Amino acid sequence: MIDYNALLKTELAGVYGDFLQKVSQINKWYAIYEGEQKWEIPSGLDYTPTRKITNIIKKLIDARSRFMFGNPPYFDIRPVQSDNKDSTTYQDQAAEKEALLEKILAENKFYAKLLKARKDCSIGGRIAIKLWANRDEGLKIIFSPAQEFFPQFNEDDIDLLEKVVFLYAVNDETDINKQRIKKQVWEVINGQCILNESIYNGRGEPVEVLYEDYDTGLDFIPIIVIQNGGLTGETEGKSDVEQLWSNQDAYNRLTSDDIDALRFQMFGQDVITDADENSIKNIKIAPGALIDLQTEPTAGDRQAKVERLESRFTYADKFADTVNRIKNDMYDTMEIPNVSLEQLKGLMQSGKSMKALYWALMAACDEDWTEWGPALEQMVDYIFRMVDVYNLYGARKVAKYETTLEIHRYYPIPEDEADDKRIDMEEVAAQLRSRKAYMKKWGDYEDVDSELEQIRLEQEMLKDDFTRAVEGELGDEI
């Protein structure tokens, strides 16, 4: 395993304590999320106890992430200045800048990464978005889980990022001398972002220097850290796995014990009294078999007999109540309604009912958005500033257009989409939004410009037909 303490002590000495212990804990949370939830079994038993794992943690984290980012957000770029009458200059500039952003996001498969990053943030407590620019390859958007980066914030301003260290294992060698770990350090020095990057062996000894005091030309660190929950002044974030684990462990143990109880008690037992030992040995258990049951000579006046002792379950209701309470507690922790498909059938006809059912989850996602929203806005700002500095895609002029950004989110509830479409249509009618922006947001068109041109041609054809019809009627009257 990477010796985090040896590699980080010179970078972040005395700031965050035992890095190895923290990374080990994060890796444990990931293992639990993936289903490694076994527990110790007492020794000396005459049977093998059941270990049944029902991974509710993974289900809940995936469900909340899908609810928040399953429908990708829309980055709506608009002009700062309004166009004059019969002019679309500023709207065209905003559309061009938005198209550039969409190109960069699409090339990086951003929306798929965003959904996965939400899960990582929920498991590890935080994630980082790193922007990497290359004049030939363009701009790369890289998401890193909590165990790969170590940020250092300003002591007086917790929002000011001063330094970030990334550690990556380059290979899987077991020989410590052959292990290769990449250490990447981003730091602001005298107002400039400086990059140092080196390759180390498993002992933390440098093997190769890739960048040394490299001036990136930026006046900011192109990294955004997003936390999962937490309080004022906290920089670690909270893991949802940690909050859910005690209930998950109890649920697994109870359901496993229940299976064993059923296995040993669901079948009745035959009870034979006052029977001769030899006749007992000759009993055969088979359909239609006869039993030659002889009474034990010493039984006196008693007669040998066979009875069947059936199991009587008395804990079923209590067990169901207990496991349901545990499961509901886990759902409540993540603010996810625990409802079945049958229960949903009566609500699906009413969008308001569906909204009420998911109100707590929507409120929780809105709370998460107070962290994610500004972070994504900052990411977009950094993207355009880097396009400007490095003239990426030859679009320096486009990156400098004065625009505003609004990020729209869509929860997977039908009424939300219908209301949003109606509001956007009203904006188009009031000339507060262009038709092109509406079609890009809601339509599935290969080429929006071609579609708009086709609409224009059809309108002209209808207008010409109407004009000819009117002229024909007037000619007839004359």
**Per-residue pLDDT reduced to its tens digit, 425-449:** 888 888 777 777 777 777 777 777 7
The answer to which of 42-46, 80-84, 312-316, 330-334 has the lowest mean pLDDT is 312-316
Task: Rank 147-151, 385-389, 447-451 by mean pLDDT and report only the highest.
Answer: 385-389
Judged against a pLDDT cut of 80, whether residue 16 lies above it is answered with no
The pLDDT of residue 414 is 66
Q: How far is the C-alpha of 105 from the C-alpha of 347, rounded, in Å? A: 36
Judged against a pLDDT cut of 60, whether residue 461 lies above it is answered with yes
Q: How far is the C-alpha of 97 from the C-alpha of 397, rounded, in Å? A: 10
What's the chain's length in residues? 478
The pLDDT of residue 12 is 54
Confirm if 165 and 149 have CB atoms less than 8 A apart.
yes
Confirm if 255 and 319 have CB atoms less than 8 A apart.
no
Q: How far is the C-alpha of 313 from the C-alpha of 266, rounded, in Å? A: 9
C-alpha separations of 26 from 23, 121, 123, 148, 236 in Å:
5, 11, 8, 10, 11
The answer to which of 5-14, 322-331, 338-347, 369-378 has the lowest mean pLDDT is 5-14
Confidence of residue 212 (pLDDT cuts 50, 70, 90): very high
What pTM does this model have?
A: 0.78
Q: Report the mean per-residue pLDDT for the chain.
A: 85
3-state SS, residue 13: coil
3-state SS, residue 461: helix
Q: Which residue has the higher pLDDT, 476 or 464?
A: 464
Confidence of residue 14 (pLDDT cuts 50, 70, 90): very low
To the nearest 10°, the Cα dihedral for 458, 461, 462, 468? 180
By percentage, how much of the chain surpasses pLDDT 90? 46
